[in-house]
Chains A and B, each alone.
Chain A
């Protein structure tokens, strides 16, 4: 089959776009070249959009009206620009969750339109299967991401919501969705089945995210990223468009891979994160079996005492956690580090892979505060250095420094690789209160003899440290 000149050009544009996307991703592997990677992908996107418009006008004459395309492109660009430029870095997990929602919505709607257009007996087996999967995944990603967004923002409870038979009913719904897609293959004009698939997708998105706790959000966000990609790939199969399949596969695999890394960093399986309702039960368990909650009282220190410890320190490792993001303390951390460094103290940062609410969350916040990225170290690189460090400064981190993960087999986080902040000569922990952390697990680090707890808002405390050290 020989293509017309115009269609050849369109296909070459798609091919070029695909190559540029892969090259862009490759450039993202190094902070030095990453911005070039973004530029390459932007060129790829312009090529793909130009190719599509050319295809719609010059090859198939499908595009006959422009007013809605123009309006949607203009409004979308304006909203996108606003979100791109003004969303604060601390809100990055929320913005990523929201964009997964948009992605799922777009793909799901395209699927519905495809069915409306070609619906019924005109669709091949491949088209109807792909469209069904596309709509199911798109809808699921849409509502699942809205749920994730709500949990991050706090208008939906961050605690896992569980009820009896939850996993069974979810499983039945997944099987039901697949069954309906199978039915559509045999009777493609059963529109009730098609819309039921969409409705089940919407429902599943809500129900699957409901039992997942806030601390597990990194994995969920990765998975939603993956679903959004797979939905786009399904669109590619439905439309017979390779650039969609390629982008979908890249996106789907990226999310999947990141999710795997995150669950590995928590020493848990995917299945455990998704169906284990982490953090629901351990509260009671931790109190009874945890590290002697009635034992030694935490050693609470004043700002002045902690500042003295920091003044004497020659080496400090900062361990940031979600609390740093909540209190927006990244700039205060950097100011303190500046003063310490001026004092001749060596300051480094230890970043746990699941610190925060999304992969790389802490890195971005510290980068925003102008902390050079060669001062940030991954867990496996820096963990052995804690023993030779004067002060480990824990800023709003909890589970990722809980020694129970090493020693207490009954702890829900047993086996998770943790940062050895407790090995430092002194461990200064900044925490809002003595209440157990989000997951409700007792942290024996807080009652260790070499730990000093400084209670209060992390940002304020850090600023007081800085002021005390400047005197």
Chain B
């Protein structure tokens, strides 16, 4: 992604040398994304349909969280809103008022993205201001195909690829900057700027420059995943990712066109690898296509993502578990900022480096708090893992947000970074964390009138969903359209 992004968007500024080794495999799980990926694909000039075909991608309207707040309960965190603000008061206040009178339906019934997801239907949002425009979408694709797709794309626009393993990193004695990489076969690759996309090994930023790692395991204890692909168990293809809470973590189901990605993200302090593999075998719904594979990770972030002339992108700079599908976003975000702050004529201005690190840190911190919420907002006391996350001490930044919600039903507002009001409300309400009080203005409408108005909205949502094609049908039609165009 990084090489293709730079080659496409900064064509005359730099020649891009991609160093990679086939000895090092791709983490072969289905990858769920956020709607921002569409901007990236479009910016690079990649045709959506071709991209989806090549990566066996499906559309994604949100994530279905099961058993997080309480076993047996579920909710969808949609790429879209719930209802609409009336008289400057957020919809959720009216919903809370209806709930008080026992007249509220599920909050998701007032969200087009949620209703469409539940019905396994999909159509791209409209471009007007109507109800049909109130959601976004992302992709679920095969990560083993996405990397090669981006590589091919990059090679087509001028990236030069060097197959081989890095064995030595050469540095300038005075500045400490990296000057060249030496590969196993002795080839030497010089550069002005080095971008470390080597994953957890972080061979430049971590191993060579020794940039410290800030560990967040105490807040996000999951440090392993057992991944196992399966066939689809049913004819439908879900236009959403499923995250189901497990005794020591959670498991994902990511539907691709040709199969279902499965995996158990777990805390090795609370369950053994063998037990986790057994658990994912038992839980997976389709026929397994391979044995479970263990992936290891550490939640946290490097103290600086840009140090000297090395920039970490993706896991080399930080890791947050895939609970909200943020991995690709975090890489994409770093690439975007890097392109904006790209060094001029090879000279790095420390002000640009500081700005890059400020922006990246802010993004990581905001996602981190949101992820922690999923674990902490629970009544589960059925395992040591859930007892730990339910009672752990939270970051102050999250504690303040939670208290504001509990006391007044309000969301801390920001415009930069990820996850705005609707996302926080989805998780709070979905995991049973209702505020003590809501906006007094919501109680100024007679409950019956409020119920009628929200029922009209719900019926409009239902009507829109009924007019949408099934997700699988839509994918088929798109594939046929692509074949015809070819």
Asked if A and B are interacting partners, one says no
Give the interface of B toward A (CB within 8 A): none
- State the A residues within 8 Å of B (CB): none
